[in-house]
Amino acid sequence: MTGTVSPLWYATRATGVMALVLLTATVLLGVATAAGAELPGIPRVITGALHRNLSLLVMVFVAGHVLTTVLDRYTSIGLTAAFIPFGSPYRGFWLGLGAIAFDLLLAVTLTSLLRDRMSYRAWRAVHWLSWASWPVALWHGLGTGTDSRVPWLLALYALCGVSVLAVAGWRLAGSYVNFYIANSLVLVPTFNDPNDRHALNIIASCFPDRTIIGIHAVDLVWGLGTLHCLSQQEPA
């Protein structure tokens, strides 16, 4: 870097990277909380509050990222480009991805603030947009940043990517269909979730001649499987 680089450029890059790191942490914590996992020694109510506060902090850094981008006169990027995808003549595609990620995050944030006035189904449907915003934001950072090929920054992006992929695999492994059928009973994984009872009732209706036993399996999911996976044969 030369001494002529605007301080706003550094602010734009710093706020963008921090927003991505915090968004990654928000996704990781959100998945873990939804799956019923608990941080050691921390009540779930605290992790839930931390998740919400991290989400708001993401928006603070995104707002700073947008503001410094608009104020930086190195190139002309209007405020509308932050909301309307592919409307900027400067790196239109990559900035368009940033606008999409921002719009998705904005929808998630606003509906979360209005959660008490919405049905759970509607809120949950919008909340899934946070999953879509994360890869779009990552792609935006890789394509837009003039320093996105710096080794330490690439390593940081890779760490974020591996972390989200790992927790997504862990979450997908947490399925009720990973139950184990024995002679007179069925062992069903449960996840400290309101749907546990509903799942147990459905499986009980499928096996009326067997006793249904729920077993807390959140910790087992870290091995990317639960009860049925544990019962599989070991090679000699």
pLDDT tens column, 15-47: 999 999 999 999 888 877 766 666 667 776 777
The pair of structure tokens assigned to 68 is 């410094």
Compute CA distances 152 → 19, 58, 104, 142, whole Å: 17, 21, 28, 13
Please write the tens of the pLDDT for every residue from 127-163: 877 788 999 999 998 888 777 788 998 999 999 999 9
Residue 236 lies in a domain: no
Same structural domain, 130 and 210:
no
Residue 134 lies in a domain: yes
Residue 131 lies in a domain: yes
Residue 235 lies in a domain: no
Beta bridge mates, 189: 215
Residue 41 lies in a domain: yes
Is the predicted pLDDT of residue 236 greater than 60, yes or no? Answer: no
Q: Which of 156, 173, 190 is the last residue of a domain?
A: 173
- Specify the DSSP class assigned to residue 75: S
Range of the structural domain that residue 190 is part of: 180-230
Number of domains in the chain: 2
Q: Which of 136, 152, 173 is the last residue of a domain?
A: 173
Q: How far apart are CA 24 and CA 156, in angstroms?
A: 11
pLDDT at 173: 62
The string over 196-228, giving b where at least 16 C-beta atoms fall within 10 Å of a residue's C-beta and e elsewhere, is beebbeebeeeeeeeebebeebbebbeeebbbb
Is the predicted pLDDT of residue 12 greater than 80, yes or no? Answer: yes
Residue ranges in 73-119 assigned as alpha helix (H): 92-113
Same structural domain, 14 and 88:
yes
Same structural domain, 128 and 188:
no
Same structural domain, 147 and 188:
no
Same structural domain, 51 and 163:
yes
Same structural domain, 36 and 84:
yes
**Cβ neighbours, 10 Å, residue 183:** 5
Contacts of 202 (CB under 8 A, 6+ apart): none
Same structural domain, 128 and 213:
no
Q: How far apart are CA 89 and CA 75, in angstroms?
A: 10
Residue 2 lies in a domain: no
Q: Which of 129, 153, 173 is the last residue of a domain?
A: 173
The H or E element containing residue 206 is helix 195-206
The SS3 assignment for 196 reads helix
Q: How far apart are CA 196 and CA 179, in angstroms?
A: 13
Same structural domain, 85 and 121:
yes
Residue 1 lies in a domain: no
pLDDT at 37: 60
Same structural domain, 184 and 158:
no
DSSP string, 8-67: HHHHHHHHHHHHHHHHHHHHHHHHHHHTT---TT--HHHHHHHHHHHHHHHHHHHHHHHH
**Cβ neighbours, 10 Å, residue 14:** 14
Compute CA distances 12 → 28, 71, 95, 144, whole Å: 24, 10, 13, 11
Same structural domain, 119 and 220:
no
pTM of the model: 0.71
Same structural domain, 207 and 109:
no
Q: How far apart are CA 65 and CA 110, in angstroms?
A: 19
Find the distance separating the first CA and the last CA of the chain, reported in whole Å.
59
Side-by-side strand order, sheet with 211-216: 180-181, 185-190, 211-216
Residue 196 lies in a domain: yes
Percent of the chain with pLDDT over 70: 85
Same structural domain, 167 and 192:
no
